Structure formats: structure tokens, C-alpha cells
Structure 1
Amino acid sequence: MAVEKGEQRTGSRALAVLPYAVMTVVTTVDLTAGPGVGFLPLVSLGPAFAGLVGGWRRTAVAGLTAFVLCLGLGVHSGLFESRRGLTALLSVAGVTAAGVAAAVMRQRREAELASVRSIAEVAQRVLLRPVPRGAGPLRIAVSYTSAVAEARIGGDLYEVVTSPAGVRIIVGDVQGKGLEAVESAAVVLGAFREAAHDEPDLPAVGERVERALNRHLSGERFVTAVLAEIGDGPRATLLNFGHPAPLVVRPDGTVGFASPPDRALPLGLTLHGGAAPAPYEVPFTPGDQLLFYTDGVTEARDAADRFYPLDERAALLKDPDPEAALRSVREDLVEHVEGPLHDDAAMLLVRYRQSR
């Protein structure tokens, strides 16, 4: 990160110097080659470049500098005895005016973009709130990467709620992208947060979320999701609505997927028939880890069109810090794809602390 920031500062300084470097080159060539070459109007490239990379004040200063240079060189070369000197001055003035106008419009757009990003950050805090890092014997970490450039939120969702029945978790993936996906994710998370506190068991939580989503969705849109409940016992209860099965990593290095006994339809498709998913249990004792994720992780492809082998990368989760462990997986995922991800990718790691 420090290297990237240093490179950005170096690039910014180079862009700031560029207009004056161009004017210096034009001045040198004009003095060396003489007025017959006709380089003098090119001094207007200074304010032109300044308008592309700087603010309107910097552009105006570059334009004033170019005007003074043009005037001085024109007098030195006797260009004002003909129309050539006046034409060069008008060129500098026109380019400067256009550069100042372009800089003003660009600054306005940048201010609007900064405002939109600020709103997006607020929406992220409301929709995807920071999960608790610990809950009883559990340690929790989350990683979210949006496939949309500059986006902070997308169609993947997650939440962790501490309820009277234990820690309840949801990780899901909304069909589609864009604002409609974000809106559907907000409906699911809002319903889950309420139901996780109120309902006595996980199936009842799933039913509440299902009802809320059916009121919101139209057509055949759906949300895959896996719900989990981790109480005081040595097991975790899961409820899977057509979502990729969580990865289970044991202290001895054993790796497997906590697959449901039967496949079930995603949330939002119960009206089309099919039984609701049945809850099932998986052993979850000190030293165990449960990794919840969305298909943006396992369906990420490399240059040879191979899927990301998440179970083969389970060794990356050995880091004592769960956040560092997830960061290692995320970096390995990006390296596997060799570029930006083509789908949102969310991961939520639950680690059962080993007793000392």
C-alpha cells in the first residue's frame, strides 16, 4: 500500500509539472530553430494539459504563463509585424478559456462522485454492518469484494446476530446485479435481523425471511442463502436454501463441505412448489472452522477456465488471526483469476476457539 501511494504521489507531481515542461520545450525549440518553423502556437499545449489534469486555478496560471511566453517570443522574433503573433496569442487565450471551463466541469463531476461515494459508504454501513469479531467462544471475520468497479455493496449479503438461542448467521447471494439486487439484499437482511431475535428456531427464521422476500420480489427472482445457528452444544445447525455448502475445516487438517441431506429451492421460489429445507446439524467443536461463502468465490475461473479450488486452499485458514486468514484466501482468489473478479465474492469465517 505504501508503494502504491508513493507511485500515486510521483504520478501526480509529474502531471503537475507536465504543462510547464511542454512550454519549456516549445520555447527552447522556437528560440533555437527560429520563427520560421512556426512552433510558437504550440505553447498553448501548456494550458491544454493543465486543464486535463489540474484545477481551474492551475489552468489559469498555466494559461497566463503561456500568454506571457507567447508575447515575449513574438516580440523577440518580430512576429507582431504580421498576423502570426496575434494568431498565436489568440490560440493561447482560446485554449486557456476552454481548459478553465473543462477544469471547472471536471471538478463539479468529481464533487458529485465524492458525494455519491459518501452515500454508498453510509448505505454499506446500514446494509452490511460490521459483524462482531467475537461471540462467546466464537471468533468471526468477514471479507466482501464487489465485482462492480468502485462499488462498496452489491448482491451478496451476510449478517451475524446474537440471539437467546445462540449466534445466528446468514450468508446469501441475490440473483442479478445492480440496485435491484441491493434492494432485495436489504429486504432479506432486515427480515433476518428481526426474526433472528424473535423466532425460537432456525426454520421459523427462514419462514419469516421467505415471507418478507415474497412480498418484495416479482417474477422469478430469488436469493440463495444458508442460515446457521451455533449455540452452547458441540454442533452447528444449518438451513440451506440452494446455497453453496459451507466449508468445514477441522484442527487435524480434515476438510469437507457441510452439504444438506437434500437440495432445496432458494428463497423466493417456494410459491413455485417444493418443500422447505430441513435443518441439519454438523459437529462444531473447539478448533473447528466454518467458512461461509458465495458462488463468486468457488465459481471464479482462471485463464484455463478452472474453478477456484476452495477446499484445496483450506491451509490458508491456519493463520491465528481469522481476518488475516480470510485476507490470504482473498489474495489467493484474485491471483487465481489474474485480474478483477467477475462476480461479487463474500466470505464469512467462524472459528471455535480451542480451550487452553
Structure 2
Amino acid sequence: MLGVALIDLLAEPELAFLPLLTLGPTFASVSGSVRRTALVGAVALAICVPLAYNNGSLLKWQNNLTIVTIIGITVASMMASHLRLRRERELASVRLVAEAAQRVLLRPVPRRAGDLRVALSYTSAAAEAQIGGDLYEVVTTPHGVRLLIGDVQGNGLAAVETAAWVLGAFREAAYDEPDLADIGERLEVSLARHLDGEQFVTAIVAEVHDGEISLVNFGHPAPLLIRPDGEITTVDLPEHGLPLGLGALGTGAVKAHRTPFGSGDRLLFFTDGVIEARNSVGAFYPLADRARLLGREEPQAALDALRADLVAHVGGPLLDDAAMLLLHRQDA
């Protein structure tokens, strides 16, 4: 508004710049309160009157129209500011609910479980929520340390209900069932009662033993194994099950597969939102090549560096939920 006033003073009297004073209350409504917007409108009127007097147009119809316009724009901007503030309060409430839901559904994983150090990274594709269709859990049971990572078909809050069913069933079965394949059966039975149509959940259920780890894969991307010497391999299992929810189409139960997991090894579990993330030219994120970032001493710092690299590769918000779970077996 000061710029408009200065231009009006320097310009010819017949040039009308005073209507531009309406920009003041208009922009004030974008970030200011209702009271501040009204104050900016009053300042615009206070500037308009002396400038109109200086131009000799104080009582002319053009200036009267400008004053009415400033008043009208100020009132409209006050209403817009009120609606914006109400929307911000509603959004803040939604975020609080989302955070509470995240604490209940996706509880913080333990940073240490037995001789394991655990790191987690989770990024939701829903801009207004911190939870989505990816799920994870790490529990210490009488049978050992067991974990789950999965990906519900779809993303955002619409997938949260399905994720809740999977997590609830796993937390019960992980303590009750002595065999990993039986945990998968429990998850399948639970989902069969709640999923509709062709919905499904890809998942990996794992159990850590002395010097090895057992895994059952239900159509989920295979994890990466990082050896202490920097060698990176994909843990491809000889047998994969169908995604959870599609078990009726399969031929039978899937057996657990054991793979060496010794001192100093790191195992990265992830969802397809990581490897399917594309940059501006459509190239997928090269996770196997970037996994060298996981060589840092502190597992969480290593995983944070990998997540930052993923976000930099995409160059903007992710289009799908992305979860990563890193296990580090400490040196004896």
C-alpha cells in the first residue's frame, strides 16, 4: 500500500492508482487474523482519503467508488480470513487425531530387541496425515523377536482400517503361534472376514534366531541383506505365498525360509513405495545401489540418510506410502 501511495504521488493526477489499495486487505486475509485484515482495510482508507484530496478527486464519483470498493473488499477479506482460520483449526484437529491413531496403530518400534538394533522410517503419501497403508511391527515373544512389514492395497486414510486389522491379528498371533506359517494363516483368516472383493495386503513375517532369520513372504518385495564388508544381496525366497486376502486362490500354506543373519549384518525391509518412487524423468529409485548409505554406525542415522536420498530423488511428495525397517545384528 505504501508503494501504491508513492506511485500515486509521483504520477500524473489523471492516472488512477488508488483502487490498487484494495490489495492490502486482500493479501492480509491470506495470513492475518480477522482483526488484522480489518486494520489493514482501515489503513487503506486512511491512505486513500488524503491522496484523493491531493489529486483533487476527493468528492468525485470515481473516488467514492474507490472508497466503496476498499470497504467491500475489506469486508470480503475479513470473511475469507475467518473461513481460513476455521479451516486451519479443523486441520489441526485432524492432525491430532491422525497422530493419536498413529500412536495406537503404528506404535514406536523398540530401538533394541535382544541383540538387534532397530531403525524405522515411515512416510505417508497422504499430505494431511501421518499414517497410511503401510504397516510394521516388532515384538519380543517367547519364541524370539518377530516382526511384520506390510503394504495394504491403496494408500491414505482409506487403508488405515485394513492396516489395523492386520496389526491386531499379528500382535495376537505372534505370541500364540509357534510357527511363522501359522501366523500367516491367522492373518489370512482375519482378513478374509473383513476385506471386500479383490483387496489384499502384501507382507513379510520374520523371526530372528541365533545366526539366522526365518521369513515368510506373502507377495512382498524381498528385503536387502547388507554384510559388514559392504556386500549387498537380495534375500529371494524359494517360495512366495499369495498376498494376504487372496489365500483362497492358493494351493496351500507357505513354509518359512531361513537365511544366514550373523554378527554385523544388516537387513532392510521396505514397501513398494520405496522402489517404485520415480523422479522427474520417470526413473525408479535405485534402492540396491543407494543401500550403501546404510553403512553408517548408527542404524537410525543410516536409515534417515537413505530416506533423505529417496525424497531428493523424487524431488517432491511421494505418490505412495513408503516404509523402511532396518535390523542391525550387533557384533558379539
Which 5+ residue runs of structure 2 have no aligned equivalent? none
Instruction: Note the C-alpha offset of 1:304.
Output: 5.1
The percentage of aligned residue pairs carrying the same residue is 55
Partner letter of residue 193 of structure 1?
A: R
Question: Which residue among 70, 87, 111 is the counterpart of 2:65?
Answer: 87
Give, in whole Å, the separation in 2 of the partners of 1:29 and 1:311: 60
Alignment partners' CA distance in 1, 2:264 and 2:2: 67
Moved more, 87-96 or 110-119: 87-96
Matched, 1:337 2:317: no
Partner of 1:194: 172
Matched, 1:101 2:79: yes
CA distance in 2, matches of 1:157, 1:84: 64
Q: Where do 5+ consecutive residues of structure 1 fail to align?
A: 1-22
1:316 and 2:293 are equivalent in the alignment: yes
Distance of 2:169 and 2:319 partners within structure 1: 28
Letter in 2 for 1:130: P
Where does residue 346 of structure 1 map in the other structure? 323
State whether residues 125 and 155 of structure 2, in contact with CA within 8 Å, keep that contact through their aligned partners in structure 1.
no
Q: Secondary structure at the match of 1:73?
A: helix
Structure 1 counterpart of 2:220, from 212, 220, 243: 243
The correspondence of residues 1-356 of structure 1 with structure 2, limited to 5 A, is 23-231=1-209, 233-303=210-280, 305-355=282-332
Structure 2: which amino acid aligns with 1:270?
G
Distance in 1 separating the partners of 2:48 and 2:278: 57
Q: 1:31 to 1:261 in 2, by over 3 A?
A: same
Give me the whole-angstrom Cα distance separating, in 2, the residues matched to 1:193 and 1:315. 32
Using the size of structure 2 for normalisation, the TM-score is: 0.94
Q: Distance in 2 between matches of 1:133 and 1:261?
A: 30
Name the SS of the counterpart of 2:193 in structure 1.
helix
- The Cα of 1:34 is off from its aligned counterpart by 4.6
How far the C-alpha of 1:303 sits from its partner, in A, is 4.7
RMSD: 1.7
Q: Distance in 2 between matches of 1:239 and 1:290?
A: 15
- Contact 1:265–1:276 (Cα < 8 Å) also in 2: no
Say if 1:30 and 1:299 are closer, same or farther in 2 by CA, change over 3 A: closer
Of 166-175 and 332-341, the range deviating more from structure 2: 332-341
Aligned residues of 1:308 and 1:336 also touching (Cα < 8 A)? yes
State the Cα deviation string for residues 213-269 of structure 1 (Å, max 9, x = none).
1111011111110001113x2211111111111111111222212222122211111
Q: TM-score, normalised by structure 1?
A: 0.88
Q: Which moved more, 1:269-278 or 1:329-338?
A: 329-338
Shift of 1:313: 2.5
Amino acid at match of 1:323: Q
Residue 267 and residue 39 in structure 1: after superposition, are their counterparts in 2 closer, same or farther (change >3 A)?
same
How many residue pairs align between the two structures?
Answer: 332
Shift of 1:49: 1.8
Deviations 1:326-345 (A, max 9, x none): 11211222233343322211
Q: 1:198 to 1:99 in 2, by over 3 A?
A: same
SS in 2 for 1:173: strand
Cα–Cα, structure 1 residues 345 and 67, in superposed 2: closer, same or farther, change >3 Å?
same
How far did residue 193 of structure 1 move?
0.9
Give, in angstroms, the shift of residue 310 of structure 1: 2.3
Q: Which stretch of structure 1 is more off in the superposition, 322-331 or 310-319?
A: 310-319
Change (3 A) 1:310 1:78: closer
Aligned to 1:15: none
Range with bigger deviation, 192-201 or 173-182: 173-182
Cα distance change, pair 125–80 in 1 and its aligned pair in 2 (3 A): same
> Does the CA-based 8 Å contact 2:293-2:302 persist in structure 1?
yes
